[in-house]
Structures are given as structure tokens and as C-alpha cells.
Chain A
Amino acid sequence: MNAADKKRLLKEMLYARRFEERCYEAYVDRKIGGFLHLYPGQEACAHGVLEAARPGEDHVITGYRDHVHAIKCGADPKEVMAELFGKETGSSKGRGGSMHIFDVKHHFYGGYALVGGPFPLAAGLAKGIKMKGGDQIAICFLGDAANNQGTFHESLNISALWKLPVLYVCENNLYGIGTRIDRSTAVTEQYKRVCGYDIPADQVDGQDIEIVYKAAQKAVKHVRSGKGPYFLELMTYRYRGHSMSDSNAYRSKDEEADWSKRDPILILKNRLIKAGEYTEAEHKKLDKKIIDEIENDVIKFAEESPEPKVEELEKYVLAENDPYVCAENVRGEQQ
């Protein structure tokens, strides 16, 4: 990773941070509704892993904390914001909302709200890739608490057995909503839980993007070479509440302060400054540029976009004009 790459990643992470913070404001202004799960603190995870993969080509799937993963895969931030605003121009045409960003064009197969749901879906994506002979891989990003679902263990077993090209990334932020990991999980170090399936697994610092990148390179190489699944545990922390209604009452201020010192953006920024590649002034300028861009470009687009038409409530429930649903067509083909 050269200095230019690092600067670009810093910019991407800062963009992600400001994007999410702006979502927070828009939620307070009631422009965004429903559940909103934000990503600040965890930026190095999505960016570090996907930097080592081929975003836009590799098949990515995740849970409800999904905006940043989608954008890193190539989704237009304008469309993501428009989705949060419930607009027709949104990535899911305003039907999905924050928890259900989809951008299939960029092989981002979605955000899902049921904890643990994406594990088998990721293995299924990998099965499809394998059958079609592509060299892409599937990447599944989920939280630590999700690993207590049966789907986790079922998917690990099957993907190991079938040698599926899937990388499971566990963003271990130590909590599932308000429950600390040691209160929900017998073996808190997640990579250890994978050993029983003979899947190679690694645990690294998820706050330092260079460390994440390096670990992910190794993981991606393994999976892409046809050796089967890999499990990567990234130790991280979310700076905001689980969702908007959460005040973090279950966490100590000391713990929060410790982790805020390990801010992924700060770590990379300070390293670049120390190496003489970057200055505080440049950073301030970049920050302002990003904030303006989000305001003038992204928010404006979301604000000005039209809402879905109520007459189209029943669109997208089933396939339109599918030839095989109509008796006449099907009979005709049989003759």
C-alpha cells in the first residue's frame, strides 16, 4: 500500500464517517425513519477488507449496518442517502430503507435485518460463483453476536465441506445491542469458534486499516485460490449507540474513551502526518470538502428526489409478466 493509496483510504473513511454523521442529523430532522444503525468507529473493517478484494466484482453481503459496505462496493452515495429518505431514486427505490440497501449492479447483495440471516446466503453466493466457474469470492460481513445463531455454524460446516469461496468477516465490536459479548458468548474470541470446522481463522486489530488490509490480503488469496472458506475476526468498536434509540448506558465512559483514542481515521491520519506525507491543514481542507460535497450533492439529491407513487405499492412483489405463470403460454410451449 503506497502513500497515495493510504491517502485515498483516509479520504474514503472520512467520507464514510461524515456520511453517517449526516444520516444522524437527518434522522433527528425526521427525514430518515425506521431503524438506523451507524458505522462510525468501524470504518477500517469494511474499507480494509474490501481494499484487499475486488469491490464491485466480489459478491458482498451484510446485516443492517450496511451503508458503508454498499458505498465501498461502488454504490452511489446519493442513491444510498435517497434510500434512507425513502425516495424512488434510492438504491432500493425507497422500499427497503436503511437496513436494506441493495446494489446488485455492484454485486452488493444487500443488507438484511435478521441477525444471522446472511451467513447461508453468503455461502449460497459462493456456491453460485463456484458453479459458474468465476474467480470472484463471496464476502460476508457480520457482527460478533450474530455468531450465536445456528446459521453461523451450519454455514461454516457446509462451506468447509463443499470448499466454497466465501470469506466470513466478523466485525467484533464487543456488543450485541446492550449485551456485552462475555454475557452472551461462552468463547468470546470468535476466531477460536471456527477451529472445529477446520477453517483457517485470524484475529486482528480492526482499527488499523493497514493491519486489516494485510490480514484480508492473506484471507482473500486463500479463498480465491479455491481452498475453501476463511474467517477473519476484526476487533473494533462502534462509537454510537446500536441504533438511534440507544444511549449506550451499558458501556463505561472509560471504555468509550479508550476506544476513541484508537479511532481508525486518527490512526491513519497521524501515521501519514508522521511520515511527512500529509498535514493537518490538508486534512482540514479535505474534511470541509467532504462535508460540503455531502451537503450539496448527496443531501440535495435525496431531498429533491420524488417519493414512490402510492399506485405502485404492489410493484416488485412478484415478477412482472413472467411467461410461466400463465396457463396459455405454458400450454403453448408444450405443444
Chain B
Amino acid sequence: MANMMYWEAIRRAHDEEMANDPLVICMGEDIGVAGGTYKATQGLYDKYGAERVIDTPISENGYTGIGIGASFVGVRAIIEIMSVNFAWLAMDQIFNSAAKVRYMSGGQLTSPVVIRSPGGTAHQLGAQHSARMEKVFMGIAGLRVVTPSSPKQAYGLLKSAVRCNDPVFINEHELMYNMKGEVPDTEFFHPLEGSEVVRQGKDITLFGYNISVHWCLQAADILAKNHGIDAEIVDLFSLSPLDRVGIAESVSKTHHAVIVEEAEAPVGVGSEVMAIINEECFFDLDAAPVRVSSANVPQPYNHKLELAAIPNKDNVVDAVVKLLGKS
């Protein structure tokens, strides 16, 4: 086991996949000579050359479409979009081309492209640089959406995404690139579907993904110490498809659920998980599930407003205590 940072794990996955298959390329703004805004492609330009580690112009819809087109004929492009806010510009190609081509060609064509991009609120980046877009991607049939909460997942999910024959969107987070964690020394592929119980508990299930898994872990410690509440945490690393079986299993055991997401609540991960709970295990519930999410506002610049807009571990603790009627 090696202890490495999230960005190092992503870099390693790129490196191994590029070494394994000469048709794997990566593309994006400032990913080559500069090594990437978050260092996810550091050193690869020197190792694999400008034909395969490609600095693109600021033309998101263009180069994403080029990656998708190349994937029609066997190239495996890993596209980095510097910030998920810029992915809006590439939505046409992701939504109308990559996600639909298998279906509308009756299975003749597929687009095994990988699009990686960080979202989320970092530090006062303001309304146009703080969006979370996973809920948008989740709603696109034909696209897989995964979101790593640890270096291990970041490594293994990217490896599988490159090999998978479907288009995969990998939702990263600006604040997680320097997070450390254990990654196996030997090559491994993380399944693209499913969920993972990262903490066993009996009283309530906290659903998190990506950064919110960490808020759940911190909250679970506080709940155990200060309130005698034993929380289970389920990491929804696959947002599309969501793991209906895993969600139902945990809720059937704990009978209570809180869904924690950084995004605004409407049409989000929380609403979707609640719908699944209703559909799969409504009668196992002892109380109505609750969402912890961001205020429904464009992200403010002022630091206090910014902190007030997004959830944190304390909001999770409060929601659980209220839901269970304990204090």
C-alpha cells in the first residue's frame, strides 16, 4: 500500500493506462506542458509526447466533441475539463453525442470517452466557479457518472472508466486533490457500479459521495461521542446508476436516512435517493428521510455567506439529532 494524494492517484491511473494502450490519450487546457491545474497529468507530456498529452485551446465543446469522435474509431480519450463550470459549454457533445450514440445507432457505435472535472465550492471562487453539476450529468441516460471520495477510488475508478465501453463522467472536487490515502501497489480496477459501506452502524444511514462522505465521517464520530448514535455511512461513488440494492439494504437495517450533498437540494442526489427509498423500502422507514444540502443560491463571494450557503459536518449532526428526536 502506498500513501498518496488524490491527484497522484489520478496521475498514476493516467500513466498506467497510457502505458497499457497506445490509443489512450488525454486532452485539456494546460494539462500538457504545465502538467494540469491540479497536477493530474504531471510529467506525462514528457513521457508520452504532444500527440497523446494534448494541450487544447479554450474550446470546450470543440475538444470534447473531438475526444468523442476519436472514441468512435478506437481512441480512448481522457478529457480534463478544468472546472465543471466550464463543462456546461461541452454539454451539447456530452448530452447529444456521447450519451446517445450507442442507442440511436442501434448498438453499432459507442463512445468510450472519459470526462474528468472538478466541481464544488473551493475558497471564494464565486458564482461562476463554484457549481456542482453531478445532478445534471446524473439525469443523462447513456452516461455513467462516478465520483471518488478517496485516492483509492480516484485511481481505481479512472482505470475502469478508461477500459469501460461506455462514456463515463468522473466528478472530482477542487478541495480534494491534496487529500491523502492508501492506494494498493498492485494494479486494480474499481467497479463503476455499486456503493460502499464505509462505516457500519445500526441507528441511521448517512448517504454521502465525494467530499460529503468526509462530512459524514466527521459527523458520525461526533454522533457516537456526544449523542450515543451509531451511524452507518454509505458512499455512493456511482451516481448513475445509483445502487438501489445497496441503498435499500442499509435503510432496511437502520430504518432512518439522511442524504448529504454539497449541491442545492432541488432535482439532486438527495431527491433521487429519497425516491429510491420510497420505491424500494418505504415500509422499513421509522421516520421521513432528510436532505442536508446547499442553500438554493448562486455561490456568493463573501466568505461568511459562502460558508452559510454550503453544508458541513455540524449540519449533518443537527439533522440526525433532529430526525432521531434526541439531543
Q: Which residues of A contact B (CB under 8 A)?
A: 33-35, 83, 86-87, 92, 94-97, 99-100, 112-116, 145-146, 148-150, 176-179, 183-185, 250, 307-308, 310, 313-314, 317
Contact = CB atoms under 8 A, between A and B. Distances in A.
Sorted nearest first, the 7 A-B pairs with minimum C-beta distance are A97-B301, A33-B124, A148-B57, A34-B124, A86-B302, A113-B128, A94-B302
Given A114-B89, A178-B34, A314-B297, A150 B55 contact: no
A34 B304 contact: no
A317 B129 contact: no
A179 B34 contact: yes
A116 B61 CA distance: 12
B49 to A, nearest CB: 14
B303 A33 contact: yes
B300 A150 contact: no
B308 A310 contact: yes
- Chain B contact residues: helix, strand, loop or mixed: loop
A314 B296 CA distance: 8
Contacts of A95: 127, 300-302, 305
A183 B57 CA distance: 8
Contacts of A149: 58-60, 89
Interface in B107-165: 123-129
Contacts of B58: 115-116, 145-146, 148-149, 176, 184
Contact of A317 (B124, B125, B297, B303): B297
B295 A313 contact: yes
A157 to B, nearest CB: 16
B33 A250 contact: yes
A148 B59 contact: yes
Contacts of A96: 126-127, 301
Given A33-B303, A34-B125, A150-B61, 16 more contacts: A86-B304, A92-B301, A96-B127, A100-B301, A113-B85, A113-B129, A114-B85, A148-B62, A149-B58, A149-B60, A178-B33, A179-B30, A308-B302, A308-B304, A314-B296, A317-B296
B301 A86 contact: yes
A112 B126 CA distance: 11
A33 B302 CA distance: 9
A83 B57 CA distance: 31
Given A86-B302, A100-B301, A313 B129 contact: no
A51 B300 CA distance: 33
A114 B128 contact: yes
Contact of A94 (B88, B89, B295, B300): B300
A314 B305 CA distance: 10
Contacts of A314: 295-297
Interface residues of B, number: 35
A97 B124 contact: yes
A35 B61 contact: no
A115 B57 CA distance: 11
A314 B127 CA distance: 13
Nearest to B123: A33
Nearest to B82: A177
B55 A184 contact: yes
Nearest to A314: B297
14 contacts: A35-B126, A83-B301, A86-B302, A92-B301, A100-B128, A114-B128, A116-B58, A150-B62, A176-B58, A179-B55, A310-B304, A313-B297, A314-B295, A314-B296
B86 interface: yes
A85 B3 CA distance: 38
A115 B59 CA distance: 9
A243 to B, nearest CB: 11
Interface string B55-69: 111111110000000
A34 B29 contact: no
A306 to B, nearest CB: 11
Nearest to A116: B58
A112 B86 CA distance: 12
B125 to A, nearest CB: 5
B305 A317 contact: no
A18 to B, nearest CB: 23
Contact of B126 (A113, A148, A150, A308): A113
B57 A86 contact: no
A185 B301 contact: no
Contacts of A310: 304-305, 308
A99 B300 contact: no
A190 to B, nearest CB: 13
Contacts of A250: 33-34
A150 B59 contact: yes
Interface in B207-260: none
Contacts of B86: 114-115
Contact of B33 (A146, A179, A313): A179
A83 B124 CA distance: 12
B62 to A, nearest CB: 7
B43 interface: no
Contact of A313 (B30, B55, B301, B305): B305
Nearest to A183: B55
Nearest to B92: A150
B309 interface: yes
B191 interface: no
B62 A145 contact: no
Interface string B164-185: 0000000000000000000000
A163 to B, nearest CB: 27
Nearest to A176: B58
A96 B283 CA distance: 46
B298 interface: yes
Given A86-B124, A313-B300, A313-B309, A35 B129 contact: yes
B123 A34 contact: yes
Interface in B86-103: 86, 88-89
B29 A177 contact: yes
A55 B291 CA distance: 49
Contacts of B29: 176-177, 179
B123 to A, nearest CB: 6
A97 B126 CA distance: 7
